[in-house]
Structure 1
Amino acid sequence: MTPKQRRLARRLRQLRVNSGTSLEAAANHLGCKQPKITKIEVCQLGARPDEVRMLCELYGAGRATVESMVTLARTAKTRGWYQVYDESANPENIDFVELETDAVAVSNFEIDLIPGLLQTEDYARAVFKAGLPDISADIIDQRVELRIARRQRVLDGDLSVWAVVTEAALIRAVGGRDVHLAQLTRLLEVATLPNVQFQIIPTRAGEYMAMGVPFWCFRFDDNYGTVALDHLSGTTFLEEEGDVERYRLAFQHLCSTALSKQDSLALLRKYIKEEHSEWERRS
């Protein structure tokens, strides 16, 4: 099942439950037996666009929600532009990109890395080489290409990004002198875009919520979302409303702990200046 299909099933169930409609009533309205509604809601059976429209209208969903759900039903089984990378990226990578492509906003917390959507090509390549030492150079190149392609939505202003990083992300010299300095300089440019919010949690802030747990929160046009957690063996996706809300609240806490956008940019400028001097002294 694709992320779209899972999202459609989850939203249909949420709309039904929130409206107080029984499974039996939904089945009667659709002219089917009750098990079909259950299978649709647990993503064991797909729903046609016309069925989705009938159910959403029964549940009292607003016009915008109905049209969003119908569109989701029409495209639920299709893959987008990223399908050309199926051979170089694992299924979880593709699911991640699909979620990101469908999202209208992404919130990302990173501990010792610059967020992927804000990385330069050379920085991304160094990250992939370190994390995937047994992968061929060709696969690394294709994954870097995919990451850079994803970045274009941010540069075009089509995707809103709110990134929070710890101060450690600015210190770690990924890729060496030139790559590190180029990344910090590029980050300063991208962080000033109107659709990008960038904040830094300074080391002096001490403890904070979600220590040791980098994560992404995707928000879609219906204001619902999905959370992604990366780890060495893959990516875990959290889709239940309670889990998503917990991470949204955690991200809000991180934002309140971090420096303001203005102070974060000032600290970033300071690191760029000091890192230039530090590398010059090393030379």
Structure 2
Amino acid sequence: MATTAKQRRLARRLRQLRTRAGRTVEDAAAELGCKHPKISKIETSLAGVKPEEVRLLCRLYGAGDHTTESMVALARNAKTRGWYLGYHGVANPENIDFAELETDAVSVGNFEIDLVPGLLQTQDYSRAVFRTGLPRISDDDVEHRAELRATRQQRVSNGALSVWAIVTEATLVRAVGGRDVHSAQLARLVELAALPNVQFQVVPTRAGEHVSMGVPFSCFTFDDGSGAVAVDHLTGTLFLEEDVDVERYRLAFQHLCGTALSPQDSLALLRQYIEEGHSSWKPRS
């Protein structure tokens, strides 16, 4: 059976904690009273690890109370698939992994080049994106995927997930789904930007070059401060989980925050496109 995103994250975090503490595989094996190959298998998610074993290892590695409890909870639920498993037959495995990471995260920073981030999309906008990106997709699968995306959005609506979304100005111009769908989407962005757990910024075209040209990505942060990155491409999603990669994308996101208009000015620009866009869409007499 394939490992879950939780199992891989648990394995990675245990390896990171051990190496940061300057402990060897042999030290960890001695703490658990096992042979060192078991530790290697645990750290590569080839073998499971019990919650009480995680607690012992965290103590050996000098992890704080918060990190320890977070790791123990992760071990308890590592094999458990959540609500998203019901969409396994519709979405590909990468979609499921993405939903799992997002469900476990406490915050996400998302940069999109010319699309509204999935967590902020209306269902009609989502349907248009799916039909364009997957020309052979059936109407039923479009509906199921739109439903999956709407379910993911519930954590934003109820405040469980903090979202910091940065888009380029092209997002406000590109009429995905046509005039009515695009208009409703921009209006929805105004509503969502008013939520206390949502930050919305726009990188204006006049800003010129920026650090992430051509590379949309999502940065996930979990309750222990660790993270993961998802980078979309035409044939799927690339997941990056090593510290050096996560930190590189976090730094890129910080640069984008500085390049973008402030949330207040971004909202003003969004409203301007809503007001001026309607007149430009009117048919010429």
Structure-2-length-normalised TM-score = 0.98
Q: 2:122 aligns with which of 102, 120, 141?
A: 120
Which amino acid in 1 is paired with 2:93? P
Q: Which residue of 1 aligns with 2:103?
A: 101
**C-alpha displacement at 1:281, in angstroms?**
4.2
Which residue does the alignment assign to 2:232?
230
Q: Which amino acid aligns with 2:192?
A: V
C-alpha displacement of 1:258: 0.3
Q: Residue 244 in 1 paired to residue 246 in 2?
A: yes
Residues 148-167 of structure 1 mapped to structure 2, 5 A cutoff: 148-167=150-169
- In 2: Cα distance, 1:37 partner to 1:77 partner: 18
Query: Residues 11-39 of structure 1, C-alpha deviation per residue, up to 9 Å, x if partnerless?
Result: 10111111111211111110001111111
**How many angstroms does 1:280 deviate by?**
2.3
Q: Structure 1, unaligned stretches of length 5 or more?
A: none
Paired residues for 1:52-201 under 5 Å: 52-201=54-203
Deviation at 1:130, TM superposition (A): 0.4
Q: Distance in 2 between matches of 1:213 and 1:242?
A: 18
2:11 partner amino acid: A
> Between Structure 1 and Structure 2, how many residues are aligned?
283
**Residues in 2 aligned to 1:150 and 1:53: alpha-carbon distance in whole angstroms:** 31
Q: Which residue of 2 aligns with 1:265?
A: 267
Q: 2:219: which partner in 1?
A: 217
One-letter code of the match for 1:254? L
Q: Which moved more, 1:272-281 or 1:169-178?
A: 272-281
Distance (Å, rounded) in 2 between the aligned partners of 1:52 and 1:244 = 23
Q: After TM superposition, where is structure 1 displaced by more than 2 Å over at least 4 residues in a row?
A: 280-283
TM-score with structure 1 length normalisation?
0.98
Distance 1:82 1:3 in 2: 12
C-alpha distance in structure 2 between counterparts of 1:29 and 1:202, whole Å: 55
Distance 1:281 1:106 in 2: 40
CA distance in 2, matches of 1:181, 1:28: 62
- In 1, the alpha carbon distance for the partners of 2:57 and 2:277 equals 58
2: CA distance between counterparts of 1:84 and 1:38?
32
Give 1:193 shift: 0.7
Secondary structure of 1:187's partner? helix
Greater CA deviation, 34-43 or 96-105? 34-43
Aligned amino acid, residue 222 of structure 2 = F
Q: Percent identity?
A: 70
The CA deviation string for residues 106-151 of structure 1, in whole angstroms up to 9 with x for no partner, is: 0000000011000001000001010011011100100000001111
Unaligned runs of 5+ in 2: none
Provide the rounded CA distance (Å) in 2 between the counterparts of 1:177 and 1:22: 60
RMSD over aligned Cα atoms: 0.9
Match of 1:45 among 39, 44, 47: 47
Tell me whether 1:7 sits opposite 2:9 in the alignment.
yes
